[in-house]
Amino acid sequence: MTVTRTPEPALSPAQVSARPSLLETVLRAREITLVVLILLLVAVTTARHHDFLFSSDGWRELLRQPAILILIGVGEAMVIITRNIDVSVGSILGLTTYFAGWLFHNVAGIPIVVVVACAVLMGALLGLFNGVLVAFLNVPSLVITLGTLYAYRGIAVLWIGGDFIRSSWLPANFKHLGTAAVFSIPVLLLAVLVVVLLVGWFMTSRRSGRDLYAVGSNPEAAVLYGLRTRPVVLLTFVASGALAGLAGIVYLAIYATGDSHVGSGYELQAVAAAVVGGVAIVGGSGTIWGVALGAFFLATISSALPVLGIPSLWQQAVVGIFIVLAITLDRVLAIRRTRAAIAQRRLG
Amino acid sequence: MTAVAERAPAPAYLRHDKPLWRRVLLRTDTALLVVLIAVILWATVSVPFFAQPFTYSTVLLAMAPILLMVPPVTLIVVTGEIDLSVGSVLGVSSAIFGLLVQHGLPLALAAIVSVLAGSLIGALNGLLVTVLGVPSLAVTIGTLALFRGVAVGLLGTTAITSFPGDAATWLRANIGNLAVPRIILVVVVVAVLFGVVLHATTAGRGIFAIGLSSETALFSGVAVNRTKLLLFVASGTVAALTGVLFTLLYSNAIGTNGIGLELQVVTAIVLGGVSIWGGRGTLFGAIVGALLIGVLSKALQLLNVGSDVIGVITGGALILSVVVASVAGFVSRRRRTAAVVQPSGGP
């Protein structure tokens, strides 16, 4: 694929900081843009319809809905940062959701913690399969995960058939998780935030986290530098799968139901969250915080559109516009930065 | 190549070190054709109701949309790019076509407008890829989401089913006594057109050159950006044409028409031995890949395995094909390295 190399001239950090305009600085700090957009969106929507924010249901939905997308978006971001892509996350989510429901139904009195661990482990194993094929066979990740997108979904359909998870399968304390709140913040969101903080810390402050950026920004250089790239790639796919597994649990806690088609199409939203959150599709850059905000933004759009009087049918088109805008903006900024740096070098 | 070889004593590098039968038979697309024939033979012998004209025409009818979109996307993949938006373009064109026909436009005019809409979407993809230099994977994932959303948004939950029935009957009718529906004629025209461009023209050599190395192609005088742009426009146009035919074939325009078809198109192409990195592959292989998926699905459906298994089969076939190609590449590289280290007999 064109995980392209348009090799841009190598620049030293001093050259790059060529006094960008204020607008450019703000646009480049994707987190600030997203926070402003989210606040605007919530404010406008609440002005139209007070219950969007100022009702216990509205508040809870606003904070609870994005949890699933944040988890798979963060996993997807880790994969994209290493210059790969994982389009099988939706299918992994679907399989683990049913698996978790099935465990509750068939193993009487199984503790919630064990189910969560099993679901995460299952997701990690499915991700491991992707990772082994990508890392050791040198096959483009798009092809492999397209294959497993089909295959995992097919396994789900074969296994589940026309069955679906009934609310009565789930223990009361698990269903309570979906609505529980601490200081009126849903527990689910808090749990997801802990995961985001952990992954974010790993990606910014741990050496093995920085390896992901090194592999993604220039694989050849990473090899020459002495990095063993295969374990890094393998790890990201396992992480992406595990996070999708965790997202499956969150899905089950929120909706308390699920059939063989849970999570279809989530792979696109996950990529969208990562890209809108400022992860360059060519790898090597982006932050976990940005991705979490991107996911929050996209999920909020979905719930705000019907309130704003735009039929929810147009929701996917709006999401699509944001993806196209985000990648265009990224590219334009990158081109401007390179031009500015070249001009700077000519001058001095 | 062979023409050159006949004219004068060939330079050493043009002399083939393998006999003709190995060069013809040991190719990905030949191997795939053998697999396809084997599957058809197996199905004829052991799958009840498979060996009937009706089955053949249903398989071809079901695969027609994919077979139509495979040629343009194959050319794009050969340049090292990808177009994941074809399924959504099909959907948008189907929605536009349905709405226009519902508002009383003549069929032909509605079809032309819908196809042009597809060309415009293709141009958008192409411009983002060539002018801005955004990877096509990202661009077309974006437009995949965007235009599926537009298709769903345009039609909502309604379906338009008021199409002249004789169009569907005409497209579905067999050609003469063959078990081949007429829509396959369109497939053949599109496939031959793109096949000739790819394998028999200078532009086609340029397409391969771009896939092998974009920079080398540029310095050799290939108009890299213009070629890519044209290919994306062609892909959008053909996908939209498929949308019109799809709508007529099933007398149904809904927002979800053609959803997920892009995955099957890419699967067929990769299964057909076209390198996803660009620069390698044949259109023939890609079409055989599509037929293989269709025949396997039909055989399993007749065996009552259910449509559920098809996902596993498609995904499994895709993974298997790239794994085999990867291992084969590894082995041949090992062998070549060994030959360089220890030259044995050859020139």
Indicate whether A154 belongs to any domain. Answer: yes
Chain B contact for A271 (CB, 8 A cutoff): yes
Please, which residues bridge with residue A186 across strands?
A: A181
Chain B contact for A310 (CB, 8 A cutoff): no
Indicate whether A300 belongs to any domain. Answer: no
Chain B contact for A8 (CB, 8 A cutoff): no
Q: Which domain holds residue A139?
A: 68-265
| Residue B244, pLDDT score | 94
| Residue A2, pLDDT score | 43
Q: How many structural domains is chain A composed of? A: 1
Taking the C-alpha atoms of residue B147 and residue B153, their distance in angstroms, rounded to an integer, is 9
Indicate whether A135 belongs to any domain. Answer: yes
Indicate whether A327 belongs to any domain. Answer: no
pLDDT tens for chain A, 348 residues long, are: 444 444 455 545 444 445 556 666 666 677 888 888 888 888 888 887 777 777 767 777 778 788 999 999 999 999 999 988 898 999 999 999 999 988 888 887 788 888 899 999 999 999 999 999 888 887 788 888 888 888 888 888 888 877 888 878 888 788 777 777 778 778 888 888 999 999 988 888 888 888 888 888 888 888 888 888 888 899 999 999 999 999 999 999 888 888 878 888 788 889 888 988 888 888 888 888 989 999 999 888 888 887 777 777 787 788 888 888 888 887 888 788 888 888 888 776
- In degrees and rounded to multiples of 5, residue A182 shows phi and psi of -115, 125
Contacts of A22 (CB under 8 A, 6+ apart): none
The radius of gyration computed from the CA coordinates of chain A, to the nearest angstrom, equals 21
Query: Model ipTM?
Result: 0.75
Q: How many CB pairs under 8 A join A and B?
A: 159
| Residue B345, pLDDT score | 45
| DSSP helix/strand/coil, A257 | coil
Residues 145-184 of B with CB under 8 A from A: 145-150, 152-153, 156-157
Please, which residues bridge with residue B160 across strands?
A: B253
Q: What is the overall mean pLDDT for chain B?
A: 84
The C-alpha angle B95, B101, B107, rounded to 5 degrees, equals 110
* Neighbour-count burial for B245-254, b at 16+ CB within 10 Å, e otherwise: bbbbbbbbbb
- Gap between the terminal Cα atoms of chain B: 19
| Residue B164, pLDDT score | 79
Q: Which of A2, A151, A158 sits opposite B80 (nearest CB)?
A: A2
| Residue B151, pLDDT score | 92
Chain B contact for A323 (CB, 8 A cutoff): yes
What is the per-residue pLDDT across B108-155, written as a single tens digit (0 to 9) for each?
999 999 999 999 999 999 999 999 888 888 888 889 889 998 998 888
Q: Which of A140, A142, A151 sits opposite B312 (nearest CB)?
A: A151
Indicate whether A277 belongs to any domain. Answer: no
Indicate whether A257 belongs to any domain. Answer: yes
Residues of B in contact with A1 (CB under 8 A): 80-82, 135-137, 276-277
More confident residue, A103 or B10: A103
| Residue A244, pLDDT score | 94
Indicate whether A61 belongs to any domain. Answer: no
| Residue B11, pLDDT score | 57
Structure token pair of residue A195: 């995961």
Length of chain A: 348
B266 with A151: Cβ contact below 8 A: no
Q: Which of B150, B315, B319 sits opposite A154 (nearest CB)?
A: B315
List the alpha helices (DSSP H) in A65-186: 66-81, 89-106, 112-137, 141-160, 172-179
Domain covering B28-326 in this structure, CATH number: 1.10.3470
Shortest alpha-carbon distance between residue B50 and chain A (Å): 23
- The amino acid occupying position B204 is G
CB A333 within 8 A of CB B132: no
Chain A contact for B2 (CB, 8 A cutoff): no
- Longest CA–CA span in chain B (Å) reads 75
CB A64 within 8 A of CB A189: yes
Residues of B in contact with A6 (CB under 8 A): 133
Q: Which of A6, A146, A324 sits opposite B263 (nearest CB)?
A: A146
Taking the C-alpha atoms of residue B338 and residue B232, their distance in angstroms, rounded to an integer, is 42
Q: Which of B152, B267, B313 sits opposite A316 (nearest CB)?
A: B152
Q: How confident is the model at residue B15 (pLDDT cuts 50, 70, 90)?
A: low
Contacts of A312 (CB under 8 A, 6+ apart): A302, A305, A306
Structure token pair of residue B162: 């008021």
Indicate whether A301 belongs to any domain. Answer: no
DSSP A5-25: --PPPP--HHHH-----HHHH
More confident residue, B239 or A285: B239
CB A233 within 8 A of CB A81: no
